[in-house]
Structure 1
Amino acid sequence: MGSHRRGGTAAAVVAAPSVRDRYFDTLRAVALVRVVTYHTFGWAWAGLVFPSMGVMFALAGTLMARSLEGPAPKVVRGRLRRLLPPFWFWGFFVVLAMLFHGWMPGRQIVYWVVPLGDPPGNAWGAQAYEILWYLRTYLWFVLLSPLLLKVFRLAPVPVLLASLAPIAVLQFLWPGPDGRLGSALWDLSTYLFCWILGFAHRDGVLQRLRPAAVLLLSLAALGYGGWYALAHQGEYGTYDLDEIPLAQAFWSAGFVTLLMWAKERFRIDFAGLTRFPRLDRLVTVFNARAVTIYLWHEIALILAVPLIDRLWQVPAFEAYLPLESQWFMFGVGWVLIAGFVLVCGWVEDVAARKRPRLLP
């Protein structure tokens, strides 16, 4: 099974709708903030408060269903075009750094070109590249979406409910193969419901369901996911959802269903966000640079450590700055992320065939 120290996000991140939906934009921005927060503090309860990956896959599924109103090959190519150039740009620096730190690549380096499997590397670079499980899973969902959407539209509600079956099979009946294929199967199964939930939202299926049924099933999924995480702490050593795929799948299913259903039921659009120009602008930047933020945030947190070590050597900083605080590292990390957005974010514009800009 692959690394589940996750909480991470990007690429519903990869495609933004032409007409902005500020509710979805805000959810995406919150998910990115939660990812960085989790990777800074490691709070086990973070996934229970906001399952960012489930949210991001559901948003991506919605956008994919919307795009597939056009020719499927063109849509898939467009998604790959938006995702791969930022990945290649980031990967060039990570691979080069690992080579300088003794890494000897083999033929599996091909996964650094198209991440259909987990890209290889050495222990020195592991913290930087372990987040790539998300891009690998997103890529597979994109490739499978034309077929998944056809199957979903044959029987929307039964297919949506059945999408939780694969993770149960892997958990209780068959653990899947070892290696890259096994990791991919576990991650795809964990978030399959959320991706198809995006289809259901796009097609208006959630709007047609009875509120009582939605609430009952969502709360049941939340209850089961939460119970499984808490009841199996001894087995996993934590109740962190990112370490427990079955709990993650059911908790995310219930949580994200409520978020998507509430949007349509109560017509939530967050249009009032425009009354707060700075916050509205921040949400815009987060969405337009989501891939950049996701890919570079771990490197920013890695670089924050030696940078803070240097600050200890300045007596005034040592006396007046909370250099030992993780919150200070969190702040330094965001300063460095902002720098990466300015220096590297233009690659997302190029990938989207837009004029490169420092900030969108």
Structure 2
Amino acid sequence: MPRTIEAKPPPATRKRDPFLDLVRAGAILLVVGQHWLMPVLDFHNGQLATGNALSTPGWWLFTWVSQVMPLVFFAGGAANFISLRAQHSRNGTTAEWLANRLHRLLLPVLALIAVWVPLPPLLAALGVPVQPLDIAGGIAAQLLWFLVVYLGTVLITPLAVRAHERFGLAVPGVLALASVLVDVARFDGVPLVGYANAVFVWFAVHQLGFHYVDGFLRTASRARAAGLLVGGYAMTAALVAVGPYPASMVGMPDAPVSNMSPPTACLLAVTCGQIGLMLLLRPLLLRLVRRPALGTALSWIGSRSMTVYLWHMPALIAVAGLAVLGFGYATPEPGSAPWFAVAPLWLGVLGLTLAGLVRLFGGLEAVAKAPRSVPPRTQLVIGGLLAAAGLLGLAAGGFGAPTQPGVLALLEASPLLPSAAVLLGFVLVSQRFRPAIQWTAQTRRQVV
């Protein structure tokens, strides 16, 4: 039987949900802050040593809250559901919605690629050591994994909405079960199977965002929200205690297993806990968001969130490169008094650097609009998949330092081929291509 959605104003007729805006903006800012505080850096004898502050004993517990990628996908799913329904309510087409979403996601990435493809060869030619450049190029591209998966959720949203309306909670339930089966095979030694959970885990979280929009989660009682909070984190604790899931929800250096790369079903338990916490805080957050200053800030971040995400690691690379390689700075012992004393200054300098980068590149995202001539849906899907494949190649290979001298560095295949795939994918989602020959009866007679 088709699922009956609660009799409330349909998503298409409602304005933007300030709670979702606040969750998404807060999650992005928390991702940025965590990434900026995690590195433990030291440069000696031409080699950059890196560590992770979250490997400090006991700090893994912070990751149960600070690993907010589940909230990003949850809010993204809700936003996609609302905007697709709004598009249909205006008699717009799914192709128009896809074109707008894909165009806005990919345009800011092109700026990052344009800067980072030539940058490592240029810096190497200026005498920057290759090993730190390799690390920097890998870090700058590594976070593109998020876009790979998110592009997939955007492409699947029209079908996912239909499945939601017909099967309801059974959809994320089946995806969660699939993620458990993948984990069983992964921990049983089946190679590469764990990466299937990049689909099952994150698509399940994205699907839960639909249940916020239709009211099941948005109107949840405090008891239901508390049940999600307690049940989610209790399940997380049980999975960690029994194993083989690690306690940290972010990847740790030299750890045999990571909950993030690839994702595990344990993240779904964390997702339930985080959603429950946010729902409990929802009344307070809605009161906060009514303040004009916060509303203005949310609007600014919302129109530049992808730019903030893409450029926060280059900001870290620039500041850390200058401080560590240029001035011999070494990160104090995490958790020590010097570490806490330096952290505000560190975050302040990084924030100013990121603000400059967002000012420089943020306009691309803020003004990104769907193409005037909307491509056919099939072309949009092909373009989106091609761009996702290119981004996956960049995330895996990075913008590495060149192994060839001079001009040969630019001819290396590492970032160029996947970058070309991203560019071609963007062209396909931005331009409607008409056949050179209209295949009519007259044309067939001429061919014969």
User: Corresponding residue for 2:36?
Assistant: 40
Deviation at 1:171, TM superposition (A): 0.7
Deviations 1:38-62 (A, max 9, x none): 1122233443124421111111111
1:1-360 correspondence runs (5 A): 19-42=15-38, 43=54, 44-69=60-85, 70=88, 71-100=93-122, 123-173=135-185, 183=195, 185-206=196-217, 215-229=226-240, 232=243, 236=246, 239-241=248-250, 243-244=258-259, 245-260=264-279, 263=282, 270-275=286-291, 277=293, 279-309=294-324, 325-352=342-369
Unaligned runs of 5+ in 1: 1-16, 103-120, 314-320, 355-360
CA 1:291–1:167: 2 relative to 1, 3 Å: same
Q: Provide the C-alpha distance between the structure 2 equivalents of 1:55 and 1:347, rounded to a whole number of angstroms.
A: 25
Q: Provide the C-alpha distance between the structure 1 equivalents of 2:285 and 2:342, rounded to a whole number of angstroms.
A: 37
User: Corresponding residue for 2:401?
Assistant: none
Q: Provide the C-alpha distance between the structure 1 equivalents of 2:95 and 2:279, rounded to a whole number of angstroms.
A: 28
Deviations 1:214-257 (A, max 9, x none): 64355323211233235548x74x52345312322211133224
Q: Provide the C-alpha distance between the structure 1 equivalents of 2:290 and 2:218, rounded to a whole number of angstroms.
A: 26
The 8 Å contact of residues 71 and 275 in structure 2, kept in 1 or not, is answered as yes
Q: Provide the C-alpha distance between the structure 2 equivalents of 1:283 and 1:209, rounded to a whole number of angstroms.
A: 24
CA 1:218–1:72: 2 relative to 1, 3 Å: farther
CA 1:202–1:351: 2 relative to 1, 3 Å: same
The structure with more helix, counted as a fraction of residues: 1
Q: Provide the C-alpha distance between the structure 2 equivalents of 1:152 and 1:73, rounded to a whole number of angstroms.
A: 20
Q: Provide the C-alpha distance between the structure 1 equivalents of 2:66 and 2:341, rounded to a whole number of angstroms.
A: 27
Deviations 1:265-312 (A, max 9, x none): x5x6625534352x4333322222101110000010111113335885
What is the TM-score of this pair, normalised by structure 1?
A: 0.73
Q: Provide the C-alpha distance between the structure 2 equivalents of 1:270 and 1:311, rounded to a whole number of angstroms.
A: 45
The 8 Å contact of residues 201 and 260 in structure 1, kept in 2 or not, is answered as no
User: Corresponding residue for 2:443?
Assistant: none
The 8 Å contact of residues 139 and 313 in structure 2, kept in 1 or not, is answered as yes
Identity %: 22
Q: Provide the C-alpha distance between the structure 1 equivalents of 2:95 and 2:277, rounded to a whole number of angstroms.
A: 32
Q: Provide the C-alpha distance between the structure 2 equivalents of 1:51 and 1:124, rounded to a whole number of angstroms.
A: 22
CA 1:350–1:331: 2 relative to 1, 3 Å: same
Deviations 1:82-103 (A, max 9, x none): 101101111111122244468x
Aligned length: 305
Unaligned runs of 5+ in 2: 1-12, 39-53, 55-59, 125-132, 252-257, 329-337, 372-448
Q: Provide the C-alpha distance between the structure 1 equivalents of 2:211 and 2:31, rounded to a whole number of angstroms.
A: 26
Q: Which amino acid aligns with 2:98?
A: V
CA 1:331–1:46: 2 relative to 1, 3 Å: farther
Q: Which amino acid aligns with 1:250?
A: A
RMSD: 3.5
CA 1:195–1:146: 2 relative to 1, 3 Å: same
Segment of structure 1 superposing worse, 208-217 or 281-290 = 208-217
**Match of 1:173, SS?**
helix
Q: Provide the C-alpha distance between the structure 2 equivalents of 1:330 and 1:65, rounded to a whole number of angstroms.
A: 35
User: Corresponding residue for 2:433?
Assistant: none
The 8 Å contact of residues 28 and 305 in structure 2, kept in 1 or not, is answered as yes
Higher radius of gyration, 1 or 2:
2
Deviation at 1:135, TM superposition (A): 0.5
Q: Which amino acid aligns with 1:62?
A: A
Q: Which amino acid aligns with 1:127?
A: I
What is the TM-score of this pair, normalised by structure 2?
A: 0.59
